[in-house]
Chain A
Amino acid sequence: MELEEIKAVYQQKKSIGYSQDELDSIYHIKQQHGFKVLKTGFSWDLIASIFIATIFIVLLQYLDLRTSVFWSICMAVLVVQHILFYLLQNYFIRKLNTFENNISLSLKESITKLRGLLWFYRLWPAILSTTLYSIYLVQFSPELTIGYILLIGILIAISVAGLSNIVSAVLVRKHYQKLILLKEELESLSD
């Protein structure tokens, strides 16, 4: 069978329309657009991060250090941020997929937007952890040399940003890579 023959058969095929249930369901989605797409469920890595944070907080409270409450709050803030990042991925991906004049342009535009989102995933946890660390320095004035202060600050920022990016940006990164591949494939049509 050649493509022309397939075309002839294809064009004779009748189409199934929308049933009333489908229309109702889709309109229901439209009405609830937004937070419905947040429900992606918890994965093992998210559960692991909550578990580790809980142990960390319990341990801090048990040790009853001068900074225990502060670091417990910081840990809780980081975990909440991590959960939000994780759950918002589907919403962001849909939100940032835009339709431009044609498919090629749509891919380019979406890739640019997703690249920006990935940088946000990389930078925001680092900014947040640096801010929290700065508050700690101002609030508790630890007896540390400037070198140690910088070293600890950089290590905290890098590890929080790295972990957050690896664990909470999984879907965005996958989607981004897929769009890049599609763009390259589409560009190969122009060769």
Chain B
Amino acid sequence: MSISKEEVEKVASLARLELSPAEVELMAEQMGTVLGYVAKLDEIDATNIKPTTHVLDIDNSFREDVMHPSLTQAEALANGPDQNGEAFVVPKII
């Protein structure tokens, strides 16, 4: 299976990744190889098989709606590369 460079660039843009032309070329080749292998799944007819997203038989996991101690604002912001003590700072959006 082959993946075009345009497809790699489109997916990279969706994933918010910027790739160099050399990376685009390499990723196109390697993704093509992996997806070619994954096409093995076509050998199986799974039409009426229910998909599994979770392996254990757990439904909703409820708890009492009570407050617990949590992080302080300063702790929550501490790893932000740019913050003003109240919020994370980002470039102007509008």
The answer to whether A and B interact is no
B residues contacting A by CB (< 8 A) are: none
